Amino acid sequence: MNGGPVARLDNMTKKNGAAGPQGNKRGNNLVVPGDDLGDSEGFEAGHGVLEMSGRLKALKQGRLREKGRLISIEPVHTRYIPRPGDLVIGFIEGCTNNLWFIELGAPFNAILPMSLGPGKVDFGGTRSVMDIGDAVLCRVQEVEETHSSVVTMKGMGLRKIRSGVVEEIDPHLLGKIIGKGGETLRRMKAETECRIVVADNGRMWIDGELDGILDVRNRLSEISRDSRGGRN
Amino acid sequence: MGGYGEVQMIDENGIRADGRGPGDIRPITIETGVVPVADGSCRMTWGTNEAIVAVYGPMEAHPRKIQRQDRAVLDVAYNMAPFSTTDRMRPGFNRRSREVSKVTQDALESVVLLELYPRSKIRISIEIVSAEAGTRCVGLTAASVALADAGIPMMDLVVSVASGKINDVVVCDLNKEEDNYGEADLPMGIMPNSGELVFLQMDGDLSQDEFKQAWEYNMDAAQEIHKLMVEALNGGDTQ
């Protein structure tokens, strides 16, 4: 998952003069909940890290990341949690007269209001434009504190998906698929002659010739199999 | 309890029937990622106990009336498989499994950062596949590993371990005979990094000194088990 400096509940410790992990767990990359990450003096608590009485503490199991003064944990395995700006692929799960409910693989469904939908939609006509079960490429516009989110389809390339297939993969494997600077993904696109859109919620839209799609699928399942020794 | 005083379970050298010393625990293995469809899972064997725990979530809490606007709710189900004991367990919930589910839920609620996931539910299923003694400890310990495996934020892991009294001697981690014919049992849920308790029960009577001794055995065992949990969580990963 890519993470900009988004206001998230878990880095709202707000005592920033922080500083970090001195010694102990720093060299060892993997941490588990409860691990002491050292003195908080001069460091900032990021995702999955809590600052408590002058010490930093791990809240999640995962890899420790240091970006300047920011100490965060990249979970090894986790559910997708929407963040504003994420490109996502969702499935329509319900409609009312003026909005769609979109399933993103997150704990809660997102809503897509008519005003942010594709083109012009008449009141009551939501279902004739995009029906239940349709896949859409959209962007997360807003996430409330209660985890309800709003997605939008206004923007470059955002659309209803009419061709190709949507594949699902664990969000934490996305980095592996994309590679350094997008290298692995670029190679996969070139070799399979497919159009591939990787969304932040762990879904991928693959479009192209049937052989190419099958090829991509095989590669994906190989990547899944390699991580965690056969899990997923 | 206490009516079985003539059953000799520990000799004058402090060696127990199964060859352990008073402070020794039974062998433990922990494995994560054993349920592929779950968000997090764990299999733990502890002596001849075996538990499989699967964690799902956070997800939207249903029905709506169980939702809390300011925090997530935990849904813990502890269950013993019909084949887990020598005489067949009747399938389904019973008085005991409800009690264990409840205390496990209370223990986990104090470590999981529920307020980060308002209106959500986290489902934890604890299935006891093979039961000897101390299944609630196995279930709780394995549940905390499965939660960590699911990437759920927690203040600490929970190690649960029991000590008790047999033939007037305090010993750690009772096995089946010691649990059945012993005089007391003290299961504890411990946060290994801070030494705080999230769970404490006592069955039978212990004097103040005996209680202190049992407490110390549990605390020491917790550190030992915590190492295995960390290894299971961090070791099962690629790279």
User: What ipTM was assigned to the predicted interfaces of this complex?
Assistant: 0.84
Helical segments of chain B, H only: 95-109, 135-149, 176-181, 208-235
Q: Quick one: pLDDT band at residue B31, thresholds 50, 70, 90?
A: very high
Q: Which two tokens stand for residue A217?
A: 């699928």
Angle at B107 between CA A106 and CA B178, to 5 degrees: 130
Q: Is A7 part of the contact surface with chain B (CB cutoff 8 Å)?
A: no
Chain B, nearest residue to A34 by Cα:
B156
Chain A, nearest residue to B235 by Cα:
A30
| Complete domains list, chain A, with CATH | 9-75 (2.40.50.100), 87-161 (2.40.50.140), 165-230 (3.30.1370.10)
List chain B residues with CB under 8 Å of A31: 234
Chain A, nearest residue to B159 by Cα:
A34
Distance CA B96, CA B222 (A): 25
Region for residue A33 given its phi and psi (left: phi exceeds 0; alpha: psi -120 to 50; beta: otherwise): beta
Low-confidence residues of chain A: pLDDT under 70: 1-28, 227-232
What is the structure's pLDDT at B189? 97
Distance CA A223, CA A204 (A): 14
What is the structure's pLDDT at B1? 47
Summarize pLDDT for B60-101 with one digit per residue, the tens.
898 989 999 999 999 999 999 999 999 888 898 999 999 999
What is the structure's pLDDT at A28? 53
Flag whether pLDDT at B128 surpasses 80.
yes
More confident residue, A25 or B13: B13
State whether A32 and B193 contact (CB < 8 Å). Answer: no
| pTM to 2 decimal places | 0.83
Task: List residues in chain B touching A: CB distance below 8 A.
Answer: 33, 36, 39-40, 57-60, 69, 111, 113, 115-120, 147-157, 191-194, 229-230, 233-234, 236-238
| Complete domains list, chain B, with CATH | 28-232 (3.30.230.70)
- A-to-B residue pairs, Cβ atoms closer than 8 angstroms: 101
Name the phi and psi angles at A110, rounded to 5. -95, 160
Specify whether the CB–CB gap between B192 and B148 falls below 8 A: no
What is the structure's pLDDT at A227? 67
